[in-house]
Amino acid sequence: MSISTAATPYGTLPPASTPSARKPVSLPRLQEMRDRGEKITMLTAYDATFAAVADAAGVECILVGDSLGMVCQGQSSTVAVTLEHMAYHTKSVTRGLRRVQGTTWVVGDLPFGSYQESKEQAIRSATVMMQAGAHMVKLEGGGWTTEIVQFLVERGIPVCAHLGLTPQTVHALGGYRVQGKTDESAAILKRHAHELQDAGATMLVLEMVPAVLSAALTQELPRCHTIGIGAGKGTAGQVLVLHDMLGVNLGKNAKFVRNFMEEAGGVQAAMAAYVKAVKEGSFPDDAIHAW
Ligand code: KIV
């Protein structure tokens, strides 16, 4: 699958009228995939062009992640990212998808400081993200987030939760470390995940947690689709940061990342190889990519 392009003064963008043969990704479709045992694929994107290419490569979900703080802004964490930044990038992504009549489900991160204060603050921030074009918002943490998730879901905003390594709290966690390694921390993480499903979260990113823990949670949470990153292959789907999987970064990739660009001839081919590898179960390789 490839997208046709139209020349512009600053490079090439897909034309506005490219017809799509695929059905839009929706919550019912994600649940159908889950029930069939088909893995869900997600990549981050922050701009129109990469979003359109990811769509053409067959990626089901795009995460406009606050990792843009690191990969776009050069920050050392996601903490400095604001709601205004998130809305700007979400609008860019959804504009790109509209140009190609994209079918991809767009998840937008609620950044640090935009939902911690109260349920009212959370819904105001989520409204900004939904009006920027997101189909679902993502927020980090368990326990205290449960009532916020329920509040948003009851008001028609789909929510993706995020447990394990939660980058917005990197300073409290003492660094980018694997979470849920002890029996006690694994039990807390499991309790939080169950509470989040009960509150109506329909997706759950599990970042840097042991593969056995994320596989067990995936079995236990049939209505909340686990999306792993550094969490082994037993999850309902996988996510990677775009720049990492393309090998475009300033440092060394984390152990759980595979550089798909090395094996492919171009960006769309690398994304398509990622989709294929996740679907057929060859990525992640638990012998290399799990704890
Ligand atoms: O911001 C982001 O890109 C994320 C992923 C690492 C899951 O939250």
Q: What is the pLDDT of residue 289?
A: 83
**pLDDT bracket for residue 205 (50, 70, 90):** very high
User: For residue 202, what are the CA distances in angstroms to 103, 142, 240?
Assistant: 19, 14, 19
**pLDDT bracket for residue 4 (50, 70, 90):** low
Q: Is the CB of 63 under 6 A from ligand 1?
A: yes
Task: Dump pLDDT digits (tens) for 113-143.
Answer: 999 999 999 999 999 999 999 999 999 999 9
Q: What is the pLDDT of residue 9?
A: 61
Q: What is the pLDDT of residue 8?
A: 61
Ligand 1 atom 8: residue of nearest CA: 65
Ligand 1: distance of its center to the CA of 79 in Å? Answer: 13
Amino acid at 17: S
Q: What is the pLDDT of residue 1?
A: 47
Amino acid at 214: S
Task: State the CB neighbour count (10 A cutoff) for residue 172.
Answer: 7
The residue with tokens 């994600």 is 30
**pLDDT bracket for residue 17 (50, 70, 90):** very low
Q: Which residues contact 76 (CB under 8 A, 6 or more apart)?
A: 70
196, 224 in Cβ contact below 8 A? yes
Percentage of residues in the chain having pLDDT higher than 90: 88
3-state secondary structure of 273: helix
Q: What is the pLDDT of residue 68?
A: 98
Q: Is the CB of 44 under 6 A from ligand 1?
A: yes
Comparing 18-22, 249-253, 264-268, 278-282, the range with the smallest average pLDDT is 18-22
Q: What is the pLDDT of residue 252?
A: 83
**Helix or strand holding residue 137 (H, E):** strand 136-140
For residues 228 and 290, give the distance between their C-alpha atoms in angstroms, rounded to a whole number.
Answer: 10
Q: Is the CB of 241 under 6 A from ligand 1?
A: yes
pLDDT for 12 beyond 70: no
Q: What is the pLDDT of residue 176?
A: 93
Ligand 1: distance of its center to the CA of 27 in Å? Answer: 20
Average pLDDT over residues 148-166: 98
User: Mean pLDDT across the chain, nearest whole number?
Assistant: 94
Q: What is the pLDDT of residue 19?
A: 53
Exposure letters 208-222 (e unless 16+ CB within 10 A, then b): bbbbebbbebbeebe
Instruction: Kindly state the tokens that stand for 12.
Output: 């090439």
Q: Is residue 207 among the annotated active site residues?
A: yes
Look at residues 163, 146, 147, 176 and name the one whose alpha carbon lies nearest to residue 235.
Answer: 163
Q: What is the pLDDT of residue 287?
A: 87
Percentage of residues in the chain having pLDDT higher than 70: 93
**pLDDT bracket for residue 3 (50, 70, 90):** low
Q: What is the pLDDT of residue 148?
A: 98
For residues 193 and 191, give the distance between their C-alpha atoms in angstroms, rounded to a whole number.
Answer: 5
Q: What is the pLDDT of residue 144?
A: 98
Beta-bridge partner residues of 64:
108
User: For residue 267, what are the CA distances in angstroms to 41, 202, 271?
Assistant: 16, 30, 6
Overall pTM > 0.85: yes
Task: Dump pLDDT digits (tens) for 47-98.
Answer: 999 999 999 999 999 999 999 999 999 999 999 999 999 999 999 999 999 9
Candidates 60, 140, 195, 207; catalytic one:
207
For residues 193 and 161, give the distance between their C-alpha atoms in angstroms, rounded to a whole number.
Answer: 8
Higher per-residue pLDDT: 19 or 209: 209
Ligand 1: distance of its center to the CA of 6 in Å? Answer: 31
